[in-house]
Amino acid sequence: MANATDHLWMHFTRMASYSAGEVPTIVRGEGAYVWDAQGRRYLDGLAGLFVVNAGHGRTELAEAAAKQASELAYFPLWSYAHPKAIELAERIAALTPGDLNRIFFTTGGSEAVEAAWKLARAYFKRTGKPNKYKVISRYIAYHGTSMGALSITGLPGIKSDFEPLVPGAIKVPNTNFYRAPEHGDDPEAFGRWAADEIGRAIEREGPDTVAAVFLEPVQNSGGCFPPPPGYFERVREICDAYDVLLVSDEVICSWGRLGEYFGAVRYGYQPDIITTAKGITSGYAPLGAMIASDRLMEPFLTETGMFAHGVTFGGHPVSCAVALANLEVFAREDLVGHVRANEDAFRATLEKLYDLPIVGDVRGDGYFYGIELVKDKTTRETFTEAESERLLRGFLSTALFQAGLYCRADDRGDPVIQLAPPLIAEQQHFDEIEQILRTVLTEAWTKL
C-alpha cells in the first residue's frame, strides 16, 4: 500500500527507511499467526506488542464489542458509572494480590503510569507529607511516552528530543545479571545489592522527598531482566522503611505473560499500586488501569475529596466488555495455567540456540524472553554502535520478518531479540521460532 508513507505517521518508526519501499502491511490474524497484504504468513512472536495474549481471530471478543456498542457505545466514568466498568473492576479486584481493590481505568499503559505518579503525589500531599514527589526507576527501563511516564523511563535515546522533562525522576541499576557490575557470580548477592541501591538513592535524595518506586516484575527494555532471588522482598522492606510506595508496572507482565495474572504474584511481593494494560483485552480494544490499595483511596473519601484526574475514554464501555469476554477465555481455557505448563519447554527450546557463537544469554520467564547477542561469548564483548546498527536494522529485523517470524530486534541497552508469543503458543510454535532464529542468526554471524 504505497500511500502508507504519504499520510500515515507510524510510531517509533524511521519513516525515511520506507522512502524506496513498501510499508509491511498486516491484514489478518488467526491464532499465533498474522498475514500481510501479499498473503504471506508470519508467526507472531511478540503478540503484536506484548498484547494479543489470547491469540488472534477470537470472534467472541469482536462480538462482545459489537453487542456493547449497540447497547451503550460510550459514557464517561466522570461522576457516573456503567455496568461493564463495575463488573470488570470487581473481576480485577478478585484477581489482584492483597488489598489492591481500587481500579482506576485508563486507555493504555502510559496513562496508567501517569495516573500512578499523580496518585502518589496527591496521596502524600493529603497525608501531611507534601514534599514527597520524586520517583525512582531503573536504568534502561521503559514506562511510557507521556511526559511523566517518559520521565520515569530510563532510556536516554527516546527522551532527548522532549527535554526538559518532569523533575524528580531518579534512576538506579537494573537487574541484568548477565552484565552485573557487582556480585556477578552470586544471583542472591547481586539482587541484594541492586535492591539496596534503591535504598541508597532514597537516602541521597532524602526520604521525605521520595514518593514511589516504579519497577517491572521482569524489565522489558534491555531484553527481559528477571528479578534475582530475594530482590523484591528486599525492595518491599526498603519501601516500608522509608514510607515509599511500591508501584509494580505490569503493562506487559500481567494477564498471564509470566504464568500468573499478575507478575507480583509470580515473584511473591505486595505492591501498593499495579499499572496494567495490553493483555487485559488481548488488544481487541484499548484499555489500561491503575490498581491501587484501599489505603491509597482513603484520603479521597472525605466529603469534598476527589482525585482530580481522568481521561475521556478511560473505562470505555466497549473496552470493558471486551476485557470481560477476554477474561472468560482465560478462565475457560486456563491460559495462565497453559503458560506455567509450557514455560520450561519454551525456555529449553530457546536455550538450544546457545550453540551459536552469536548467542550470549537467554533470559526471561513465562512467555517473555530476551536473547542477547554478543561478538564474543567468552568475554561477553558486545557490539559497537555502528555494528549494532548494521546487525539489527541493517539485517536482522528484515531477515527475521522475511523468514516468517515477527519479533523485536532491539538495542536499547545491549543488542537483543525479544520474544513474547500469544499465550496459546505450544511446542510447534517454539520449534518454529527456534528454527527461524537459528537460520537467520547463523547467517548474521557470517556478515559481521
Q: What is the pLDDT of residue 19?
A: 79
Say how far apart CA 182 and CA 189 lie, in whole Å: 9
The answer to whether 401 and 44 are in contact (CB under 8 A) is no
Task: Give the whole-number percent of the chain exceeding pLDDT 90.
Answer: 91
Q: Is the pLDDT at 208 greater than 70, yes or no?
A: yes
State the greatest distance between any 2 C-alpha atoms of the chain, in Å, as a whole number: 69
Q: Is the pLDDT at 226 greater than 90, yes or no?
A: yes
The answer to whether 367 and 336 are in contact (CB under 8 A) is no
Structural domains of the chain ordered from first start = 15-46+334-446 (3.90.1150.10), 62-333 (3.40.640.10)
Strand partners, 289: 105, 276
Say how far apart CA 282 and CA 340 lie, in whole Å: 18
> pLDDT (tens digit, 9 = 90+) per residue, 310-345?
999 999 999 999 999 999 999 999 999 999 999 999
CA 62 to each of CA 98, 99, 325: distance values in angstroms, whole numbers, following the listed order: 33, 32, 9
**pTM assigned to the model:** 0.97
Task: Give the whole-number percent of the chain exceeding pLDDT 70.
Answer: 100
Say how far apart CA 392 and CA 374 lie, in whole Å: 12
> pLDDT (tens digit, 9 = 90+) per residue, 19-61?
777 899 999 999 999 999 999 999 999 999 999 999 999 999 9
> pLDDT (tens digit, 9 = 90+) per residue, 132-143?
999 999 999 999
Q: Average of pLDDT values for 397-408?
A: 95
Q: What is the pLDDT of residue 151?
A: 97
C-alpha cell belonging to residue 367: 512467555
- Closest C-alpha to 116, from 214, 244, 241, 205: 214
**Relative orientation angle of helices 59-71 and 317-333, to the nearest 10 degrees:** 150
Q: Is the pLDDT at 448 greater than 90, yes or no?
A: no
Please state, rounded to an integer, the average pLDDT across all residues of the chain. Answer: 96
The answer to whether 264 and 253 are in contact (CB under 8 A) is no
Q: How many residues does the chain have?
A: 448
- Closest C-alpha to 369, from 389, 394, 387, 344: 344
> pLDDT (tens digit, 9 = 90+) per residue, 103-137?
999 999 999 999 999 999 999 999 999 999 999 99
CA 85 to each of CA 53, 115, 199, 275, 412: distance values in angstroms, whole numbers, following the listed order: 21, 18, 38, 17, 36
What is the β-pairing status of strands 210-215 and 134-138? parallel
> pLDDT (tens digit, 9 = 90+) per residue, 3-22?
788 888 989 888 888 877 78
Q: What is the pLDDT of residue 209?
A: 98
C-alpha cell belonging to residue 139: 536504568
Confidence label for 227 from pLDDT (cuts 50, 70 and 90): very high
> pLDDT (tens digit, 9 = 90+) per residue, 55-65?
999 999 999 99
Q: What is the pLDDT of residue 12?
A: 86
Q: What is the pLDDT of residue 353?
A: 98
